[in-house]
Amino acid sequence: MTARDGDTLVATFGSFPFETTIPGGQLPTSGVTGVAILPTHRRRGITRRLMVEHFADCLERGEPLASLWASEAVIYGRFGYGLATRQHDLKLTVRPGMFVGAPASGHEFRLVERDEALRIFPGLFDVERQRRPGMFTRDDAWWELLFSDPPDRREGWSAHRRLVASVDGVDVGYAIFRAKWNDQGRQIVRLSEAFGADDTSERAVWQFLTEIDLVDEVVNWNDPIDRPFDWWLSDPRLAARKVSDALYLRLVDVRAALQERSYQRDGTVTLAVADPVCPWNEKTYRLTVSAGRGLCDLVDNDPDVWIDVAALASAYLGDRSPFELARVGRVTGNTEAISLLGDMLRSDVAAYCQEMF
């Protein structure tokens, strides 16, 4: 979408159509990007107007979710976006023998060229994507873009290195990284991403990266918050982790969103949702979960729980509990129902979004 003032283009507002993993499935999502207003036209309500129009478009296109990474965290809450995933900015100090126990046996490693990586990585990425709420699908064009590596944009880092781990000839993990020399004539490895098809392979990839000769540090600005360094490493302090906000999520269609995800506990909770920006969501929902799947009816009776749509988005992928949100007044109501809702919405795998868009 764009906005014009006469012949002048004054605002842009873009979105990618992709699927976001939610507990127990995935949902069509509008991934918002390129929101920008000319400095001459800021603070006149143009973004607000484009945003409201965009939500109506999402509803029409059948996209129950919208998501974005915010350049400034203060902007999007007013539009009903809630912080739904967090990230660790990771700095791993390398020491010999830092991993507890023997290395996984049977893993072999090789570096591959771009074309081979393009054949192998998407399948392995998809294994991780399907199990981790907040990740989104990549099409071929996205992978091409990910692998584009123009020398003038490397800022002193090496070209991409593409690592594959395999067991008995089956590929089970990968990493994309760069390296750079530090002042001590040793190297820093900077990850773009590293995933394994199973826990053992994930650890094997990480251990391999720390055992490359002359490497002092492995860094990753966007690491999942449940990467098990506290258990992998004999000294967890070697993994310095700074937590920050990552993906912001908007439930554009609350009923569809509640009905499509799976739940960790059966039960019934009636919740009233406040959503002044998308009034079609401002209803009372009776969420009945049976065998882990939810049925969501609109009802007139008194709710057990009151929640605003941004707070619901923060709890939706399992990152934040309604109990925590109740402590700051974002959720109110019956304590037992809040606790039950928390048990229902929990996710064993931490929510995470693999990249900024």
Ligand X SMILES: CC(C)(COP(=O)(O)OP(=O)(O)OC[C@H]1O[C@@H](n2cnc3c(N)ncnc32)[C@H](O)[C@@H]1OP(=O)(O)O)[C@@H](O)C(=O)NCCC(=O)NCCS
Task: Give me the residues that bind ligand X (CB under 6 A), please.
Answer: 35-37, 42-48, 70-72, 74-75, 78
Please name every residue paired with 107 in a beta bridge, in sequence order, or none if there are none: 167
What's the N-to-C CA distance of the chain in angstroms?
Answer: 17
Neighbours of 330 (CB within 10 A): 19
Taking the complex as a whole, the smallest distance from the CB of residue 189 to ligand X amounts, in Å, to 29
**φ, ψ at 157 (rounded to 5°):** -85, 160
Residue 277, both tokens: 């920006």
Q: How far is the CB of 118 from ligand X (least distance, A)?
A: 30
Kindly tell me which of 72 and 115 has the beta carbon lying closer to ligand X: 72
18 or 357, CB closer to ligand X?
357
Nearest approach, Cβ of 220 to ligand X (angstroms)?
22
What is the amino acid identity at position 143? W
| 20 vs 210, beta carbon nearer ligand X | 20
Please provide residue 243's backbone torsions phi and psi, each rounded to the nearest 5 degrees.
-90, 140
Question: Shortest gap between Cβ of 4 and ligand X (angstroms)?
Answer: 14
Q: Which two tokens stand for residue 17?
A: 């159509």
Euclidean distance between CA atoms 111 and 166, whole angstroms: 11
> What contacts 324, CB < 8 A, 6 or more positions away?
none
Which C-beta is closer to ligand X: that of 3 or that of 209? 3
* Closer CB to ligand X, 5 or 198, in the complex: 5
Cα dist from 28 to 6, 75, 86, 254, whole Å: 35, 24, 21, 13
Q: Which is nearer to ligand X, 42 or 186 (CB)?
A: 42
CA–CA dist 109, 159 (Å, integer): 19
Smallest gap from Cβ 20 to ligand X, in A, equals 18
CB of 65 to ligand X, least distance (A): 17
**Smallest gap, in angstroms, from Cβ of residue 67 to ligand X?**
12
Sort residue 17 into left (φ over 0), alpha (ψ -120 to 50) or beta.
beta
- Angle at 238 (CA atoms; ends 235, 243), nearest 5 degrees: 120
* Beta carbon nearer to ligand X, 20 or 270: 20
**277 neighbors 92 (Cβ within 8 angstroms):** no
